[in-house]
Structure 1
Amino acid sequence: MIEDITPKTVGARIKYLREKKGESQEILGKAIGLSQNSISKLEKGETQLTLENQYSLVKHFNVSHDYLISGKNENSLLVLLEKYISMNYSPIFEGDLTFYCPILKIDKILFNYLIRTARAKQDNYIPDDIKRTWIEREIDAFYESNEKNQFTEFESVIPIPQRLISPDKNKENWKQADLLREINKELLNCLNANNTR
């Protein structure tokens, strides 16, 4: 069966998203560079959606192109992100004390892509055109690997605050034990802050 994709159904979805966000036609128009009258015509299905306007609406409402046009996968961005990244809390024991450490799980293919492109961006010894080519190849490799991705292999990382990664001048020469102690203190502080809310 052919999906019901007409200017009228797309317009109804635009109206729904606008009202859900609590915006008037005028506010939406200003946000995406159209007049209130143009928004009204889009919502009534009296005019077709251009690619430029579709892109602006998708970005403004933070929905997928699929959802805007067909009404499917309203939260597809979140669903997609959750395939690649998730977080859970794992208990860590220190004597009688138990606290929960956030563990970020990142899909291995995405993790490898992020590592390689970060390396390419940080390499100051290669010319920009070679750097761009390197990054383009990593992007191609990511999409190629992702075609067969079963989302079964993950890398786990413990997110830590930036201030622990780049200590102040008094902590220039941290040893690993010092860093672990500071991370532990920071995690306990976060846990205590979360428990008092």
Structure 2
Amino acid sequence: MNYADRLKFLREKAGLTQKFVAQKIGVKNNTLSSYESGKRQPDYETTKKLANLYDVSIDFLLTGKEHEGSSDDMWKELLNPKTKLKCSLKI
């Protein structure tokens, strides 16, 4: 299961609509739809809001696994659009 699939799975598991989640995290419904279809990737702040809403860690949301020692600062840097990564990060 990839990141977009996990977002949709967690939302449906919680019994929430896209409209509700979009309002809760402060994005438009079509933006959330783009996240769930893999067309767009949310920034750190939005990812953190989604993780909190679904009561999972950012690690689980992005990788599907719980990792000890992954800090929010690390994810904040990796998810910053200004960060230039030399490798392709597929989530």
What TM-score do the two structures reach when normalised by structure 2?
A: 0.69
Residue in structure 2 matched with residue 27 of structure 1 by the alignment: 20
Q: Which runs of 5+ in 1 are unaligned?
A: 77-197
Secondary structure, counterpart of 1:23 in structure 2: coil
Please give the per-residue CA displacement for 1:65-90, whole angstroms capped at 9, x wherever unaligned. 110000013xx9xxxxxxxxxxxxxx
After TM superposition, list the pairs within 5 Å mapping 1:115-154 onto structure 2.
none
Q: 1:1-197 counterparts in 2 under 5 A?
A: 9-73=2-66
1:48 Cα deviation after fit: 1.4
Return the letter of the residue paired with 2:11: R
Residue 11 of structure 1 and its aligned partner are, at CA, apart by 1.1
Cα RMSD between the aligned structures? 1.6
Whole-Å Cα distance in 2 between the matches of residues 24 and 41 of structure 1?
14
Dislocated runs of 4+, deviation >6 Å: none
Mapped to 1, the partners of 2:60 and 2:40 lie a distance apart of 19
The structure whose RCO (Cα within 8 Å, separation 6+) is larger is 2
Larger-Rg structure: 1
Number of equivalences: 67
- Displacement, 1:15? 0.3
The residue type paired with residue 16 of structure 1 is F
Whole-Å separation in 2 of the counterparts to 1:31 and 1:44? 19
**1:48 match: secondary structure:** coil
Q: Hey, which of these two has a bigger chunk of strand by percent?
A: 1
Q: Which amino acid aligns with 1:65?
A: I
Give the secondary structure class of the aligned counterpart of 2:19.
Answer: helix
Q: Deviations over 1:5-40 (max 9, x none)?
A: xxxx21110000000000110011011111110110
Q: Which whole-Å deviations, capped at 9, do the CAs of 1:133-155 have from their partners, x for residues lacking one?
A: xxxxxxxxxxxxxxxxxxxxxxx
